[in-house]
């Protein structure tokens, strides 16, 4: 009597099954991020700048000062480094939305607001987070994070200000969400008196103008100059692109030392309190403006030619240069068909 072969599926472990579900989910395009009006008159402001230029320092102290002025403030870090809130929380890292969501999903649980949002002296803060290097797209993580915020009721929360911290030198789509999808009313750029930070600030201005031409409404409220050494290039840039300077934070050793030790300097009774009080007022009142971005030569013109190499003249290369000597013309392999 012949035997019938019965196929048996290989055993799949729970971790393998979870990994497959995550791969399947990653293959699905995300839903559009909701852009409806908040339940109350909330100013949603996106702060952009070059990595390491001082956005997190500026936002931690700005949000703290706003809260001391009686405002309800939510600070959301949208940087994969997840360092926006570290100064606010004395160097402690808070769980990110991305990692918390993955952990809860694996356990079959829902994310609660208390899992991801934390507070200090009236400031509410959270980090979206992002993947480790080589393990995913940071921009996609941003999109996923905002989708989860919507599920947690983002548009029904009652804040006076929501401050979003975004990298300006990462150009993939997720980092441009606030500008591209009108998720904020205005943008603030943080820069310094160096070419690279102003290059990033100019790119942000270009993005704002690009999406305004497509029907967007986001404008640039102004610029915060951080680590200002008085050389004036950042102020000249702001004037050239037609945006105001909201504050100039000096390159001061006291600020550097206290920030390195995770201390808030923007307290009402501190040495730097008046600076951040003025910045809080400027951020609240500055209207969104149409910037006029510069071209590369315009950016270089803000600096002396001795510093930037601005007097360099481009010398075209020849084919002989590329071949390292004489160019030998070879017969073409192209087949030419005569008209029949």
| CA torsion angle 280 54 272 189 (round to 10) | -30
Active site includes 289?
no
Predicted pLDDT of residue 149 = 83
Residue 329, in any domain of the structure? no
* Neighbouring C-beta atoms of residue 161, cutoff 10 Å: 20
Predicted pLDDT of residue 256 = 94
Residue 3, in any domain of the structure? no
Predicted pLDDT of residue 179 = 84
Q: Containing domain of residue 195, as a range?
A: 39-304
Listed residue (52, 40, 51, 127) closest to 88, CA to CA: 127
Residue 275, in any domain of the structure? yes
pTM above threshold 0.85: no
Active site includes 3?
no
Residue 5, in any domain of the structure? no
Residue 4, in any domain of the structure? no
CATH number at residue 46: 3.40.50.300
Residue segments in the chain with a per-residue pLDDT below the cut of 70: 1-11, 14-15, 18-19, 21-23, 25-40, 130-141, 168-175, 306-310, 333-336, 339-340
Residues 110-126 have pLDDT tens digits of 889 999 999 999 999 99
- The whole-angstrom separation of Cα 146 and Cα 276 is 29
Active site includes 194?
no
Active site includes 55?
yes
Residue 92, in any domain of the structure? yes
Predicted pLDDT of residue 170 = 65
Residue 101, in any domain of the structure? yes
Q: Does residue 68 contact residue 174 with C-beta atoms inside 8 Å?
A: no
Domain count, the chain: 1
Catalytic residue (one of 55, 186, 227, 289) = 55
Residue 14, in any domain of the structure? no
Catalytic residue (one of 115, 169, 182, 252) = 169
């Amino acid at each position: 009597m012949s035997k019938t072969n019965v196929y048996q599926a290989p055993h799949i472990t729970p971790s393998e099954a979870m990994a497959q579900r995550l791969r399947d989910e990653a293959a699905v395009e995300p839903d559009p991020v909701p852009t409806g009006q908040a339940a109350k008159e909330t100013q949603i402001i996106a702060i952009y700048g070059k990595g390491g230029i001082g956005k997190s320092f500026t936002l931690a102290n700005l949000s703290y000062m706003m809260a001391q002025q009686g405002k309800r403030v939510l600070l959301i870090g949208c940087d994969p480094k997840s360092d926006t809130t570290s100064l606010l929380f004395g160097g402690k890292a808070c769980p990110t939305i991305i990692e918390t969501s993955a952990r809860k999903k694996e356990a079959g649980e829902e994310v609660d607001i208390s899992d991801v949002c934390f507070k200090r002296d009236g400031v509410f803060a959270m980090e979206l987070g992002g993947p480790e290097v080589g393990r995913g797209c940071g921009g996609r993580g941003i999109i996923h994070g905002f989708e989860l915020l919507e599920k947690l009721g983002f548009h029904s929360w009652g804040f006076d200000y929501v401050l979003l911290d975004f990298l300006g030198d990462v150009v993939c789509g997720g980092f441009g969400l606030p500008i591209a999808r009108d998720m904020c009313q205005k943008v603030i750029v943080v820069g310094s008196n160096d070419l690279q930070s102003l290059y990033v600030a100019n790119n942000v201005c270009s993005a704002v103008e690009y999406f305004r031409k497509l029907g967007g409404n986001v404008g640039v409220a102004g610029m915060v100059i951080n680590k200002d050494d008085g050389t004036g290039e950042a102020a000249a840039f702001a004037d050239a692109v037609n945006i105001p300077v909201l504050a100039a934070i000096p390159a001061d050793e006291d600020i550097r030392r206290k920030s390195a030790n995770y201390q808030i300097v923007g307290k009402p009774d501190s040495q730097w309190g008046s600076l951040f009080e003025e910045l809080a007022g400027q951020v609240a009142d500055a209207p969104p403006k149409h910037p006029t971005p510069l071209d590369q030569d315009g950016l270089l013109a803000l600096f002396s030619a001795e510093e930037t190499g601005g007097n360099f003249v481009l010398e075209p290369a020849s084919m002989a240069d590329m071949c390292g000597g004489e160019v030998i013309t070879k017969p073409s392999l192209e087949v030419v068909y005569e008209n029949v």
